[in-house]
Amino acid sequence: MEYFSIAAILVCLSAVFGYINVRWFKLPITIGLMIITILFTFAVFLLSYVDDTLLDAERYIITHIDFKTVLLDIMLSFLLFAGALHTNFAQLKVQRGPVLAFSTIGVLTSTFLVGGALYLVLPLLGLQIEFIYCLLFGALISPTDPIAVLGILKQAGAPKKLETKIVGESLFNDGVGVVVFLTLYQIARFGIEDVEASEIMWLFVEEVVGGVGLGIVLGLITYRMMRSINDYAIEVIITLAAVMGGTVLAHHFHFSAPLAMVTAGLIVGMDKVRESAMSEVTETYVDKFWELIDILLNTVLFVLIGMEILVLDLEGPFLLAGLIAIPIVLLCRYTSLLAPINFFKKKLEFVPHTNLIMTWGGLRGGISIALALGLTETMGRDLFLVVTYIVVVFSIIVQGLTIGPLIKKLEKEDADA
């Protein structure tokens, strides 16, 4: 089965599952597709006792797709650019302080809290894992997933100021999270005695500063090219070229492609840029094109996440560790947000219960699974993949379905108080 055939099957499954969701389930697309795909996979498991043709086909698809490469190196750039393009830049500029703190200090704090907590808890389950490997899990699970967050918050009814904080954080903290993960990965692989502080600093500068710098250059070039012509078709292609060409450049120079795409998308999506560089027709086509790309890739991604259950080693201790990790991850996120929120709430107006809503609305998704798949066997890959999958599924389905009602309940309580 060639890659085109696999892609065709995934798109067809996404279309069918998307139809089922819209026709009967009527859930947010990310939640609906994950639930339907997991149910489909379990149905295939049951059917395999009679005929294992479908199960073999599904396993073939999963084993022939490098989920980590497909998501982190290809899909993520398109999804982040699309998300940043439709983000309110003016609001994000006002909230830049807390967004920066959440996506840096928050991620680092959460990484060490989660890693430390698991290092203490896992031996109680008979699982002996080195501290550095627990930190690796903390790094991959701490960043909130912009793909999941953007898709669900649109329907959650969060206050705009709070939505900007959550969306802004999720757009930037995955790039920071990947850098933290890569740094810890180097230490875990070669030993801390063989990794110098200068190497860590250079990795940070190269990935973060290089990624943001490349994004600024791409955004300005895209803006100037679009401003000099008035042809909606070519202008749409220019934005597509910025994402694809920019991703290739980022990988070549070892810059952070996610941060580059977020930065470029924010620049192209600015109100001033739209007014001076896009006609009304061009703006409509650019927005609709990237909205369609966003929806298409989201549907395929969450179908893939649902199918990833086939590669899990579902042992009893691993499942129990995953269930225990859910409250640990949530509590550590809540704790990691305390300092930034308390610092900035004196300068900026924060809505009531900001920490609680940001904790429950900080969803995990495909990025965490992709990073977990990048672990080696000696790093506890099988264990952490199961734990990550359980946290992600709980995050998207349970937290995603209840964040809207939680916000409404808190607003009602505040109104009645």
| DSSP code string of 220-233 | HHHHHHHHT---HH
Counting every residue written for the chain, the total comes to 417
> Which residues have CB under 8 Å from 357's CB, separation 6+?
158, 162, 166, 351, 403, 406, 407, 410
φ/ψ of 228, rounded to 5, equals -85, -5
Average pLDDT, stretch 297-312?
90
Distance (Å, whole) CA 251 – CA 209: 14
Alpha-carbon distance values, 128 to 116, 117, 125, 368, 388 (Å): 13, 13, 9, 22, 17
What pLDDT, on the 0 to 100 scale, is given for residue 203? Answer: 79
Task: Encode pLDDT of 159-187 as tens digits.
Answer: 777 778 888 888 888 788 888 998 899 88
Alpha-carbon distance values, 332 to 122, 169, 209 (Å): 16, 16, 27
Confidence of residue 245 (pLDDT cuts 50, 70, 90): very high
Q: How many CB atoms lie within 10 A of CB 41?
A: 18
Q: Name the residue with higher pLDDT: 260 or 29.
A: 260
Alpha-carbon distance values, 46 to 43, 100, 301 (Å): 5, 47, 24
Distance (Å, whole) CA 258 – CA 65: 21
Distance (Å, whole) CA 232 – CA 279: 8
Domains in the chain, CATH or no CATH each: 3-63 (no CATH), 70-416 (1.20.1530.20)
Write out the DSSP string of 326-354.
HHHHHHHHHHHHHHHHHHHTTTS-PPTTH
> Which value, to the nearest 10 degrees, does the dihedral of the CA atoms of residues 36, 10, 245, 240 take?
-70
Amino acid at 324: I
* pLDDT exceeds 90 at position 411: no
* pLDDT exceeds 90 at position 319: yes
pTM for the whole thing? Answer: 0.93
Average pLDDT, stretch 265-278?
93
* pLDDT exceeds 90 at position 408: no
- Contact between 55 and 44 under an 8 Å Cβ cutoff? The reply is yes
What average pLDDT does the structure give for the chain? 90
